[in-house]
Amino acid sequence: MNVILLGAPGAGKGTQAEIISSCFHIPVVSTGNMLREAVKDGTPLGLKAKSFMDAGDLVPDAVLVGMIQERLQQSDCKNGFILDGFPRTVPQAEALDNMGVKIDHVLEIHVPDERIVERMSGRRVCEKCGASYHIQYRPPAQSGVCDVDGGKLVQRVDDAPETVKVRLGVYHKQTEPLKDYYAKQKKLSIVEGQEKIVDTTHLTLQALEG
């Protein structure tokens, strides 16, 4: 089962992706996490991506397409995968089609802009594994510490309110056209993001099974 999750920054894609991943035993492929890892390790890719990411802009398509092509060829993706944060532009979606990758479901998790900025202020991510938490909606067992690996939970630089506004603008302009793209392929379902994570998960699983 090959799934794409769409949604504005902070809509809950990462959280739902991790839950679907453990239900269906398929990996999450998060381009944001891969890029943050590259930035942390100071690789050439990371050096190239950092300024775009810090500004809330998209990293150029060519960089992402090469990165994702390599990742999807790895053996853990052979029974399926969940794409979180890719594709983000129509050219990226076309590149995926041209690679011969078959997509079964595209889910948009929809959350209105007004609620996004408020959600982002409480978001924390694990420095080590990238798992996401929320101080109110998804607190870790121990404050500031990742449940999975004990990594330190930090705020993302690009979660600052001004950068969130830029990222929302980028989402509406460059990523939302993908809804039409996948609706035409009859693959799109829209899930309304709920206050409680379990309620969103319920709707998400329903959409995947429907």
Give catalytic residues, as residue numbers: 13, 88, 123, 156, 167
Identity at 140, one-letter amino acid code: P
Choose, by CB under 6 A, the member of 20, 26, 59, 164 that binds ligand AMP: 59
Identity at 103, one-letter amino acid code: I
Residue 198 CA to residue 73 CA, distance in Å, equals 32
Specify the 3-state DSSP secondary structure of 6.
strand
Residue 146 CA to residue 144 CA, distance in Å, equals 7
Residue 128 beta carbon to Zn ion: minimum distance, rounded to whole angstroms: 5
Q: Is 103 left (phi over 0), alpha (psi -120 to 50) or beta?
A: beta
**CB of 91 or CB of 151, closer to Zn ion:** 151
- Site residues for ligand AMP, 149-168, by CB under 6 A, read 158, 167
Provide the 8-state DSSP code for 151.
P
- Site residues for Zn ion, 118-137, by CB under 5 A, read 126, 128-129, 131
Question: Does 140 help bind ligand AMP (rule: CB under 6 A)?
Answer: no
- Binding window for ligand AMP (CB under 6 A); candidates: 52-60, 69-77, 112-120, 146-154: 52-60
Query: Taking CB within 5 to 8 Å according to partner kind, which of Zn ion, ligand AMP, none is near residue 148?
Result: Zn ion
Query: Taking CB within 5 to 8 Å according to partner kind, which of Zn ion, ligand AMP, none is near residue 163?
Result: none
The CA-based dihedral angle spanning residues 56, 69, 93, 27, taken in that order and rounded to the nearest 10 degrees: -80
Q: Give φ, ψ of 107 to 5 degrees.
A: -115, 130
**CB of 106 or CB of 153, closer to Zn ion:** 153
Radius of gyration of the chain (CA): 16
Choose, by CB under 6 A, the member of 7, 12, 28, 32 that binds ligand AMP: 32
The total number of residues shown for the chain amounts to 210
Q: Which residues bind ligand AMP (CB under 6 A)?
A: 9, 31-32, 35, 52-53, 56-59, 64, 85-88, 92, 158, 167
